[in-house]
Amino acid sequence: MPITPFHGLAFMFLYFKDKRRIDPLALAVSSTFVDLEPLYYFLIGDPLNHKIWHGFTLALTVYPLLVTFGVFMMERFLKERLWSTYNAVRLEPVQVGYPLLSIYLCSLFGGFSHILFDMFTHEKMPYVIYPLAYGNPFYLGLASITVELAVIMLAIYSGLHWLRK
């Protein structure tokens, strides 16, 4: 199972390729915050911790709208703080406030990529293609290590782009 920071870094190289259109905050938030669900269920002791938010139904509808709203508000009201944070972590932004469509598309892509990676590595994800089916027909078993390695390699690739800047 790819750990949450790798989800956030896996496609960050896209930001370094096109800083004018790719919103790093929307991409990072949308690809990582969905894991607040398993954290919550883990903390309350529920053994099945990848539930309804770890499915394409919500990841492609409600989730990107929520992330878009949150990121849009942050970029409008915390602009100066974001500038300093981006500069502190050497993202070297060309802008902080992205257009609403850009934020939405990055949010959609981040949520989709998270579920896409997780569906191959988590056996117990019953809502992955709900309501079409209950259960996870995409789980790869031991072969899921290939997906994990792919995510790690993408994260390293993004990290290298980050270091080069």
What band does 49 get if pLDDT is binned at 50, 70 and 90? confident
- Any idea what the Cα angle at residue 82 is, between residues 16 and 67, rounded to 5°? 80
CA angle 101, 54, 121 (to 5 degrees): 115
Output the average pLDDT for the chain: 94
Least confidently predicted of 23-37, 38-52, 73-87, 104-118: 38-52
The DSSP secondary structure of 54-74, one letter per residue, reads SSHHHHTTHHHHHHHHHHHHH
Tens of pLDDT, residue by residue over 118-162, are 999 999 999 999 999 999 999 999 999 999 999 999 999 999 999
Cα separations in angstroms, 54 against 35, 57, 63, 113:
8, 9, 10, 11
**Tokens found for residue 106:** 């990055």
pTM > 0.95: no
